[in-house]
Amino acid sequence: MNSPTSKAINKPSEDFAIAPLFTRLQTYSDADFDASWVNLTPSELDSLAAILIRDLTANLNGKAIAPYLNALRHGSTDLLHSFSFRRFLFPSIHLPANFPQVKPPRFGDGDKLKFRVNC
């Protein structure tokens, strides 16, 4: 049963193409990633979508926005379907340059630790 409340909740995801993003993530396959092999959980799917949206938002710039606005204003649909993530910088997997250089801890897996609180 579709109540007015459930319709209102689903409306933004329809308006902003969130459902197609979820579908694309669930079915995506290329040389680096195959969704059918990793069996994404609903929580992982939500997190991936949120991360992609966050990164898109954080990396927007005029070179990315202007062609889409121009296409919208001139009725062109070619550009609207050709978005490329190559324009965006993805977070590094390396530690920051100012990360402290310390000896690795000498604890084995399963060792119990107690943290001292300096009060």
User: Based on the domain organization, do 38 and 77 belong to the same domain?
Assistant: no
Looking at residue 25, its pLDDT comes to: 92
- In the chain, which stretches have pLDDT less than 70? 1-15, 77-92, 119
* Residue 71: predicted pLDDT: 80
Q: Within this chain, do residues 72 and 44 fall inside the same structural domain, yes or no?
A: no
**So what's the pLDDT on residue 32?**
87
- The HSE-up count of residue 39 (CA atoms within 13 Å, CB side) is 0
Does a structural domain hold residue 95? Answer: no
Instruction: Decide if 111 is inside a domain.
Output: no
Report pLDDT for 8.
52
Domain shared by 11 and 37, yes or no: yes
CA distance 59 to 18: 19
CA distance 99 to 93: 13
In a domain, 77, yes or no: yes
For the chain, what is the HEC assignment? CCCHHHHHHHHHHHHCCHHHHHHHHHHCECCCCEHHHHCCCHHHHHHHHHHHHHHHHHCCCHHHHHHHHHHHHHCCCCHHHCCCHHHCCCCCCCCCCCCCCCCCCCCCCCCCCCCCCCC
For residue 8, which phi and psi values (nearest 5 degrees)?
-65, -35
- Give the range of the structural domain holding residue 22, as residue numbers without chain letter: 7-58
Q: Are residues 18 and 41 in the same domain?
A: yes
- Per-residue pLDDT at 112: 79
Report the pLDDT value the prediction gives residue 77, as an integer from 0 to 100.
64
